[in-house]
């Protein structure tokens, strides 16, 4: 983690003031499609980077099965919160929809010249850990959250930190 934070600190807060959202309103895959929910500008004062937020929709039926977002940039907050966040509605879990959505959303990150992403989850969130492993992300460490971190203040204490290399072959 220290190496990551040092790299981030050397580039400032990780927020590109000249950031421009790209045209990724609809990303269609074989089983799932990502439909734009909203684009959220960065907020340098709060340390928030820009984000794309999507609904995960079944391609065949247009049924919403979950949501996913990708945050563009790097800063210390993202080491604990991750570049990608996802959730799947309970009745649709176990079908790899989160992994399929991750495979689609990586196009957005690559278009913004991001080649390595952090994905985090709670240590007891076995389905999320399995999703990270399924897409080829590597567990770097399990860390204690800093006491001033928002997630710590909400009662969370640890995060699994996975690193996903978008340019490295999966096998």
Task: Confirm if 39 and 51 have CB atoms less than 8 A apart.
Answer: yes
Fold of the 2-165 domain: Aminopeptidase (3.40.630)
Q: Enumerate residues 6+ apart whose C-beta is below 8 A from 34.
A: 24, 26, 27, 28, 54, 55, 56, 57, 68, 101, 104, 105
Residues pairing with 117 in the sheet: 164
Q: Rounded CA gap, 14 and 84, in Å?
A: 16
Task: Confirm if 129 and 164 have CB atoms less than 8 A apart.
Answer: no
| Phi, psi (degrees; rounded to nearest 5) at 160 | -80, 130
Name the one residue in this structure whose structure tokens are 């995060």.
159
Q: pLDDT tens, position by position, for the chain (171 residues)?
A: 444 444 543 444 455 567 899 999 999 999 999 999 999 999 888 888 999 999 999 999 999 999 999 999 999 889 999 999 999 999 999 999 999 999 999 999 999 999 999 999 999 999 999 999 999 999 999 999 999 999 999 999 999 999 999 998 765
Q: How many Å is the Cα radius of gyration of the chain?
A: 16
Pairing relationship of beta strands 64-71 and 51-58 according to DSSP bridges? antiparallel
Name the one residue in this structure whose structure tokens are 């993202």.
78
Report pLDDT for 92: 98
Cβ-based neighbour number of residue 148 at 10 Å: 7
């Amino acid at each position: 983690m220290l190496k990551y934070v040092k790299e981030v600190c050397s580039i400032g807060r990780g927020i590109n003031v000249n950031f421009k959202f790209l045209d990724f309103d609809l990303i269609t895959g074989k089983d799932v499609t990502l439909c734009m929910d909203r684009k959220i500008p960065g907020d340098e004062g709060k340390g928030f980077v820009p984000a794309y937020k999507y609904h995960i929709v079944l391609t065949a039926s247009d049924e919403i099965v979950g949501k996913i977002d990708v945050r563009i940039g790097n800063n210390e907050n993202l080491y604990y919160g991750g570049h990608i966040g996802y959730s799947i509605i309970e009745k649709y879990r176990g079908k790899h929809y989160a992994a399929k959505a991750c495979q689609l959303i990586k196009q957005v990150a690559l278009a913004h010249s991001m080649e390595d992403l952090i994905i985090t989850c709670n240590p007891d969130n076995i389905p999320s850990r399995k999703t990270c492993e399924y897409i080829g992300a590597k567990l770097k460490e399990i860390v204690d959250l800093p006491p001033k971190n928002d997630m710590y203040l909400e009662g969370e204490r640890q995060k699994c930190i996975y690193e996903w290399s978008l340019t490295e072959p999966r096998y």
